[in-house]
Chains A and B, each alone.
Chain A
Amino acid sequence: MDWRWDFTFETVIPRILPGLWVTVEVTVLSFFLALFLGLFLMLAKRSKISFLAFLAAEFIEFMRGMPLVVVIFFLFFVLPMAGIYLPPIWTGVLAMGVYNSAPAAEILRGGLQAVPKGQWEAAYVLNYPPHQAFRRIILPQAVGPVIPGLGNLLILAFKETPLLSFVAIPEMLDTAKRIASETYRFTEPLTVVGVLFLILSLVSAVFIKIVERHMIPEMRHGR
């Protein structure tokens, strides 16, 4: 096995870097979409309207039992049949956002449940209107417990993006495969993809640590 540095630096890295951007873009956008949808799913699941709660619970179960590739293929081929034409990257964002909304909903629910019942009772007895109790008392305390889980979800989302190469979205793995099939050299492109994913996950881990330190306030450490 020979390794060619000139090929790595002159051909592979310049061509894969735009793919890195696609990976980051799809991951971050789909993550925020998942958070947004997950919040509504969680609220629906907790809702007193039992039909809504039922639908949300069933949707979460359904998504959990579904491989992501199936969701990607489904949206990629079925949306155009329904007359909805999205750029492939947006289809990818949509697929991963919808797919990850289910675990996001469960993580958010866990955060709310981590707030002791006594906090609800104190807010009630102190006559907070329900929405103020939620915003001022419960939500700030639910943020801390939620961050590790959401950070995990973000890193998982990075690792899921190569599945988008199945529908020819030009993320890193897709680009690497193209380079390989043109040059018959597999080692350099695939190694570069691996190293870039390693860097991505290390960077996100540091990012999550920073967020954690800023969002979990003085209540834990004192000031």
Chain B
Amino acid sequence: MADEKIRFEAVSKRYGSLTVLDQLDLSIGAGEVVSIIGPSGSGKTTVLRCLMTLEPVDDGVIWIDGIPLNKELRSGALIEASPAHLRRMRTKLGMVFQNFNLFPHMTILQNCSEPPVYALGAKPTEARSRAVDLLKMVGMESKQDHYPAQLSGGQQQRAAIARTLAMQPEILVFDEPTSALDPETIGEVTEVIRALATKHSYTMLLVTHQIDFARDISDRICFFDKGRIVEQGPPDAVIDSPKETRTQQFLRKVAKAR
């Protein structure tokens, strides 16, 4: 494995008495593509939300490039990170949501060109030409002046991926990117993600229910249950010959549903 990019160190997250993440340890290398699978309520999405600093963690430290994310080093001690520190660290992170969350009052092009301007201080002309390139890359150049409501789910998700890339992140986080899509548009989105995984050097963390897709693009699969990693390893090992009974049960159920 190349250099370590992300490390979860004994990370716990609780909602009241419910423990969603239980002393999670997870290390992801630079350029590695990791998929998280598991039953609903197993804490998969919470891993992503904690990494994106959308949720504070209760215990433990998340590291990115060897720098603590949810903590800050002040005079030799680790203290809770300030909003400014979180903001700085988030420039390395990009997230694609299950429900796209495109801005409905902006065209697709504005969705991709405005965030770099207002959040990074990019020049409007540069941000615009970059956005045009990215929309071309995801096959949306002909729709750049459309509003999100005028597009299919698959088209919206491709535009949302372009918007995420416009911020030039190093780490891409996908939260069930195809779960809100009609079956016939899933393929166009998975093709875009596949291209990102194979042709680019992004570090990718993906939560998905599409086992075949996860097997195709991932370097590693993590099976989650009850806030812990039950089993992890190369796709072939975890999906084709799982060792843990819970993994076997889950994969059997998923296979039946297909």
Contacts and interface: CB of A to CB of B under 8 A. Distances in A.
Contacts of A128: 115, 118-119
Contacts of A220: 149
A118 B149 contact: no
Given A219-B105, A220-B149, A222-B147, A118 B99 contact: yes
A221 to B, nearest CB: 9
Contacts of B167: 126-127
A132 B104 contact: no
A121 B97 contact: yes
Interface residues on B, range: 20 to 34
Nearest to B83: A130
Interface stretch (A52-60, A133-141, A173-181): A133-141
Given A137-B103, A217-B105, A222 B163 contact: no
A164 to B, nearest CB: 39
Interface string B60-101: 000000000000000000000000000100110111010101
Contacts of B164: 126
Contact of B105 (A122, A141, A223): A141
B103 to A, nearest CB: 6
B18 interface: no
B52 A125 contact: yes
B103 A122 contact: yes
B170 to A, nearest CB: 14
Interface of B: 52, 54, 87, 90-91, 93-95, 97, 99, 101-105, 114-115, 118-120, 146-150, 163-164, 167
| 5 A-B pairs with least C-beta separation | A122-B101, A127-B119, A118-B101, A219-B104, A126-B115
A83 interface: no
A136 B52 contact: no
A119 B115 CA distance: 13
Contact of A126 (B54, B104, B163): B163
A10 interface: no
A186 interface: no
Q: Please report whether the interface of chain A is mostly helix, strand, loop or mixed according to DSSP.
A: helix
Nearest to B99: A118
Interface string A178-198: 000000000000000000000
Interface of A: 116, 118-119, 121-122, 124-129, 132, 136-137, 140-141, 217-220, 222-223
19 contacts: A119-B101, A125-B52, A125-B90, A125-B93, A125-B94, A125-B95, A126-B115, A127-B115, A128-B118, A128-B119, A129-B118, A141-B103, A141-B104, A141-B105, A218-B147, A219-B148, A222-B147, A222-B150, A223-B147
Contacts of A223: 147
A140 B103 CA distance: 10
Given A118-B101, A127-B87, A127-B91, 7 more contacts: A121-B54, A126-B115, A127-B90, A127-B119, A140-B105, A141-B105, A217-B105
Contacts of B104: 141, 219
Contact of B54 (A116, A124, A219): A124
A132 B120 CA distance: 12
A118 B115 contact: no
Nearest to B88: A127
A217 B110 CA distance: 15
Contacts of B54: 121, 124-125
A129 B119 contact: yes
Contacts of B146: 222
Nearest to B93: A125
Contacts of B52: 125
Contacts of A218: 105, 147
Nearest to A130: B83
A119 B93 CA distance: 17
A127 B169 CA distance: 11
Contacts of B94: 125
A122 B97 contact: yes
B103 A119 contact: yes
A132 B167 CA distance: 16
Contacts of A119: 101, 103
A97 B13 CA distance: 47
Contact of A136 (B95, B118, B148): B118
A219 B151 CA distance: 11
A88 B52 CA distance: 57
Contacts of A125: 52, 54, 90, 93-95
A125 B103 CA distance: 13
